[in-house]
Amino acid sequence: MAKLADSTTSTSQVIEAARERKELALGSWRQGQYENALILIDSVLAEGLPPGIECELWVTRATFKGELGQFAESLDSLNQAARLLDFADAKVKASFYFERARCHKELGRFDESLTDYAGAEAYIERAGIDRSFVENNLAGLYLKAGDFERAHTHVNRAIALNQINLPKAYETQAEIYFAEGQLDRALESINHAIAIVGENESWLRDFLKTKDGIDARLLELLGVTKIADLEKLRADMTRRALVEFGGNLSRAGEKLGLKHKGVDWIISKHPELEQYRKQRTTRLKSILKKTK
């Protein structure tokens, strides 16, 4: 593979080419193609890059690792970014501090996390970008600390901002209600998150896992304690909804409190349900086509 930078390539062309491949990686990530996304980022980082865009790509890689729950590896990537941070713009710096705060939060480092969230918030204001991410993660931080009052304060602020992070804010709200034992409210919040998640496959998977936990607790209170029983119940409910609406995934999803993709995800886990759906249409997307 040829290097991005050579004697005939300008710095601006190198940066533009790197950002194009970063966008491809982000697209792969949103579709749940995590390995492909990381391969794309690593392939660009292996080439000669100006320090600003290199910092940006290390922060992106750190974010991917954080989304996978690999927080130590995320911090390793952030350490690589830190040496180049002076060359980055306000948006990249905001993402750097935000991701490092999240890693500290998940690793139980409360004070370090609060410090980095303050740094993220300062740069977010300079960059003029969505600050609901900070509010939402502060809510998660106080949730882990058992301070439900502050957790609700911050998640309510995130929801009130009504920005791109809104589905994640409703998931956090569901987690707070769940921790408080308010299962009916938790279920309402996570169902709302699923309803508005859109095309983000990664978020949808997270939301469905959160919903599984709430459903499992509700069923436990009803005397259903085995995961297999939960899966069977969910499959049966999905089958009945599909039969009722002639295999229409969108209408079945409305009855189940899910979107089309949520029903499709359940069918993928229970192949015996495939016969009850309408014949699927296939849409092919090619990364190679985009790069031409």
Tell me which residue of 167, 135, 130 sits closest to 152, measured CA to CA: 135
- pLDDT on residue 134: 83
Q: For residue range 106-157, what is the model confidence (pLDDT) as tens digits?
A: 898 989 998 998 888 888 878 877 788 888 988 988 998 899 999 999 999 9
Residues 93 and 121 in one domain: yes
Q: For residue range 215-229, what is the model confidence (pLDDT) as tens digits?
A: 888 877 766 656 566
> CA 222, CA 204: separation in Å to the nearest integer?
27
H/E stretch holding 177 reads helix 166-180
Residues 163 and 235 in one domain: no
Residue 200 lies in a domain: no
- pLDDT on residue 226: 60
pLDDT for 3 beyond 60? no
Q: What is the mean pLDDT of residues 73-100?
A: 94
Residues 109 and 8 in one domain: yes
Q: What percent of the chain has pLDDT over 90?
A: 41
Q: What is the mean pLDDT of residues 218-246?
A: 74
- pLDDT on residue 11: 86
Mean predicted lDDT score pLDDT of the chain: 85
Residues 124 and 141 in one domain: no
Residue 188 lies in a domain: yes
Long-range contacts of 111-117 (CB under 8 A, 24+ apart): 113/141, 114/141, 117/141
Residues 97 and 5 in one domain: yes
pLDDT for 235 beyond 50? yes
Is residue 5 within 8 A of residue 48, CB to CB? The reply is yes
Contacts of 30 (CB under 8 A, 6+ apart): 199, 200, 201, 202
Q: What is the mean pLDDT of residues 31-38?
A: 89
Q: What is the mean pLDDT of residues 53-81?
A: 95
Q: What is the mean pLDDT of residues 205-218?
A: 87
Q: What is the mean pLDDT of residues 181-207?
A: 88
Structural domains of the chain, count: 3
- pLDDT on residue 227: 57
Residue 44's domain spans which residues?
Answer: 1-129
Tokens of residue 131, six digits: 């600050």
- pLDDT on residue 128: 78
Residues 189 and 116 in one domain: no
pLDDT for 9 beyond 50? yes
